[in-house]
Amino acid sequence: MGNFPILTAVTFLPLAGALLIMLVQSATGSNGQDEETRGRQSLMAGLIFSAATFLASLVMLVSFEVDAPGYQLVEEVSWFAGIQYKLGIDGMSLLLILLTTLLTPISLVASYGTVKQRLTEYTIAFLVLETFMIGVFCAMDLVLFYVFFEAGLIPMFIIIGVWGGAERIYASFKFFLYTLLGSLFMLAAIVFMYMQAGTSDITVLETYAFAPEVQTWLWLAFFASFAVKLPMFPVHTWLPDAHVQAPTAGSVILAGVLLKMGGYGFLRFSLPMFPDASQFFQPMMFALSVIAIVYASLVAFRQTDMKKLIAYSSVAHMGFVTLGIFSFTEVGVQGAIFQMISHGLISGALFLIVGMVYDRVHTREIAAYGGLVNKMPIYAAIFMLFTMANVGLPGTSGFVGEILTMTGAFQASTWAAAGAALGVIFSAVYMLTLYRRTVFGPVTNPALENITDVGKKDLITITPLIIGTILLGITPNLVFDITRESSLRALQMITGG
Amino acid sequence: MLDFQAMISAIGPELLLALAGLAGVLAGAYMGDRFNGLSFKLGAVTLLLAALVVIMNWEGGEAFGGLVTTTPFVNFAKCISFIAGAVTLLMAEGFLKRHETIRYEYPLLVIFASLGMGIILSASNLMTLYMGIETLSLSSYVLASFHRDSIRSSEAGLKYFVLGALASGILLYGISLVYGFTGSTDYGDIASSERTIGLVFGMVLMISGMAFKVSAAPMHVWTPDVYEGAPSPVVAFFATAPKMASMVVFANLLFTAFTGVFEDWQMIIAIIATLSMLIGAFGALIQNNLKRLLGYSSIANMGYALVAVAAGAEYGAAALLVFMTSYVIASIGLFGGVLSMRREGGMVENIDELAGLVRRRTGLALALTVLVISVSGFPLAVGFIGKLVVFQAGWNAGLLPLLIVLVLSSVLAFGYYLRIILVMWVKEPVERFQPVGSTVSLSVYAAAAACLVLFVFASPFLDWATQASAGFIQ
């Protein structure tokens, strides 16, 4: 590939697509066609661009050398005042970028036919969002990272606010302001680190030794941002609102990618840059993780709204991620990264599954369903697969992530691992209850009498996720080989390796 | 004898503006109404020429025995102010034409106000400063009440005049105290005189007067009313050029004349900044009128700028220039947005009138979104860089409490900025706006583009500001 800036290409390809769609649509004017036709054309164009981005990210995967330490495919241009436009990837960011580029076209396909209003703007918002998400994962400069991290809020804010449910305004504001408040603390920390170290280059800062008392404050500032994003107990309350109000595709991206930025942040910044503080806060993180796992699982059990249930299940599953990260063991960190990828696939699929019946019946109330297996056998099978994956059935990717994070946690604290194991049981309780109440039993709701089984579009969206979930469940080493170097680097300042 | 070369390099732009203004008065007297249309273009060209003269004499110089001294620092501000004046003048033409108040006095007043800005920026003597401020203020009072048949405009003008005169009085009283206790009105002499209680008293009074001019709390009360009442193009002008000039003059005065009593004014500026940031943010939260909202938003933004001032000359000078420039660019665009809000039967100013703008005029809505993002200091536009450098300056100067207020106020500010975005994107569209002419739209697009371009290519911009403030770094 030579010096071709593949990362810049992958990052900005969706943005270029968005601009192109915008220009073409405004240049052609209404042109006699109605808004819906034009919107559908935009969606198709957006799909092509996001698919092209996915292919480009596969090129990235091919040119990635698994065993090489450090960051690869680095691109560097000076931006301003010592801050650089610097991109680079390691195994962890590579996989998260792949997850992003996979989920974006899937969510666009899922929107086909279901989103009818203002499809052009919708497509543009998703493409812009994709650029920012990819940017977050490959930024190698703190300020650049912050720019991408924050910028992603605006398209998501608009997606929830424009195409969301009845309470969308409240939900979008809550999402935005929660995340923003956390991020501003991080910005303060970033400015301080930049002042102190004289650079905002992540590779330099990873080995820069901040004084322990300074580390504590910096760690807390980053924690404020990542804990909201992840989200961790007790700042998770924006997530159920945002998920319930967001359109299906928005939920897929939110759960699949945006939540992962929190875990990514902990691994990329908190651990290597503030090792002392990370160790100092380990008990707190364990406690919050276990509370998140147990509490969110219990809350999930009581939900009457399908999306809210899955949202709380996300909070619980992200608890495993923090548990694994703060175990400071290789197996725990590997498990945490795996769990992020796996949860991206599974929760994305679950939101799609909810979306499928929502499109047909227009309600997310669990009580409105029941007996779906009689009418939608294929749907029931797919739902069963992902229910099991979410519970952590061996053979699915959910199992690998949970078992590894718990193994890691067990080495650090038996109690934490025991608490988390409780969460696994609870997750079986709420997921199986959800499944039983929606799929089994007699058909009671007359609206379900004429419901049709999954269509071609649904299969297109869900099949890649089925393949991914099972493939990673059977051969998890596909992921581990790629992420080994990143997990070791995240830990090197703590274990001294 | 007079050294013309030195004089030109020190006050060339002001000479140009003064002569052009006088020529304009004569031309108006001879040509009458025929001059009305032409005067706007000529005025804008004159202002741009003045900006060009500033750039040609970038290093500046001294003239009139030290009454005026120009430095790259003030020339930076002059340049931006004149350009902003020219753009807002061009934006005004269509509005005034539709309101049948297109008269050649308007560009002349803008030119004389710009002359005042030039003079205060060049001032290195309290007398020059006061003269310039009065030139600027008197022109502004008339501009605020330019729609003399409208009760709102007259009220705005009167309010501005009464309070402005009071502030000028306070400023003058401060000047007299400073003169009395130091024996000089020269910036350099004041800086080298020893600290006396009278000097500090005078300085506090001068700060109060200047705070009025930049609409910083607690001297901000005129701002929302004048913003709401005065004709929109006039407000567009008030919000940009004089803001830039007054703020830089304020900083220049403190950085040069009162550099010896830094500790005394730092605390005062810090308090003023805190109050402005909070009052601006809280005040704007509850506004429905877009012009009033922008008025409160300007109070908050002046608070951010004052954080840079409180950081002191060494850290804050360049940050101030960067922040104010990014603010001025965004403000031009946002007021272009205000000027675009025209319906059958007149201008509308309520935020809800923007509802669904993205479906009616996608380009305008996108541009306004970029501008709102910029002025809110969100990454993606130059406003972020402005706030970042202010933050850095404050951090370097150790002003932690101020920075906490800055962060909190920024979060609050997102509450009302987001509302504008939300209304444009989410609400069901209302009736289309009437076209307002290409100059306004062009200015909005240009401002939005500038916000993005300066964000991506921030380096030359920052270097320029740093180089301009190099004189303050020992």
Measure the CA angle with vertex A238, ends A219 and A236; round to 5°: 50
Does B395 touch chain A if contact means CB atoms closer than 8 Å?
Answer: yes
| CB-CB neighbors (< 8 A) of A142 in chain B | none
Report CB contact under 8 Å: A79, B418: no
Determine the distance in angstroms separating the CA of A181 from the nearest CA of chain B, rounded to an integer: 6
Measure the CA angle with vertex B242, ends B28 and B216; round to 5°: 145
The dihedral region occupied by A394, where left means phi > 0, alpha psi between -120 and 50, and beta the remainder, is beta
Q: Which amino acid is at B409?
A: S
Give residue-wise pLDDT tens across range A370-425.
888 888 889 899 999 999 999 888 888 989 988 899 998 888 888 888 888 888 88
Residues of chain A contacting B, Cβ within 8 Å: 22, 26, 78-81, 118, 121, 143, 146-148, 150-151, 154, 157-158, 161-162, 168-169, 172-173, 176-177, 180-181, 184-185, 187-188, 191-192, 194-195
Q: How far apart are CA B394 and CA A254, in angstroms?
A: 35
**By 3-state DSSP, what share of chain A in percent is helix, strand and coil, each rounded to 5?**
75, 5, 20
Report CB contact under 8 Å: B362, A26: yes
Does B459 touch chain A if contact means CB atoms closer than 8 Å?
Answer: yes
Across residues B381-400, what is the average pLDDT?
89
Q: Which of B133, B134, B153, B137 is nearest to B145 (CA)?
A: B153
- ipTM of the assembly? 0.78
Report CB contact under 8 Å: B395, A191: yes
Q: What is the DSSP letter of B34?
A: G
Does B401 touch chain A if contact means CB atoms closer than 8 Å?
Answer: no
Determine the distance in angstroms separating the CA of B392 from the nearest CA of chain A, rounded to an integer: 7
* Nearest Cβ partner for A147 among B380, B395, B410: B380
Percent of chain B whose pLDDT exceeds 70: 99
- Most confident range (mean pLDDT) of A28-32, A285-289, B63-67 is A285-289
Query: How would residue B212 be classed by pLDDT, with cut points 50, 70 and 90?
Result: very high
Give residue-wise pLDDT tens across range B146-178.
888 888 888 889 999 999 999 999 999 999 999
| CB-CB neighbors (< 8 A) of B391 in chain A | 187-188, 191
Q: Residue A32: what pLDDT?
A: 59
Shortest CA distance from B358: residue in chain A: A121
Q: How far apart are CA B366 and CA A21, in angstroms?
A: 14
| CB-CB neighbors (< 8 A) of B418 in chain A | 157, 173, 176
Residue A38 or residue B179, greater confidence: B179
Report CB contact under 8 Å: A78, B385: no
Size of interface A-B (CB pairs under 8 A): 78
Q: Which domain holds residue B151?
A: 4-472
Q: Which amino acid is at B260?
A: G
Q: Residue B18: what pLDDT?
A: 94
Does B414 touch chain A if contact means CB atoms closer than 8 Å?
Answer: yes
Answer whether B170's CB lies under 8 Å from B209's CB: yes
Answer whether B358's CB lies under 8 Å from B382's CB: no
Give the number of domains in chain B: 1
Mean pLDDT, chain A, integer: 87
Reading the block at residue A256, the tokens are 């699949």
Answer positive or negative: Cα dihedral of A481, A485, A490, A496.
positive
Report CB contact under 8 Å: A173, B418: yes
* Nearest Cβ partner for A151 among B358, B380, B426: B380
Report CB contact under 8 Å: A118, B359: yes
Does B392 touch chain A if contact means CB atoms closer than 8 Å?
Answer: yes
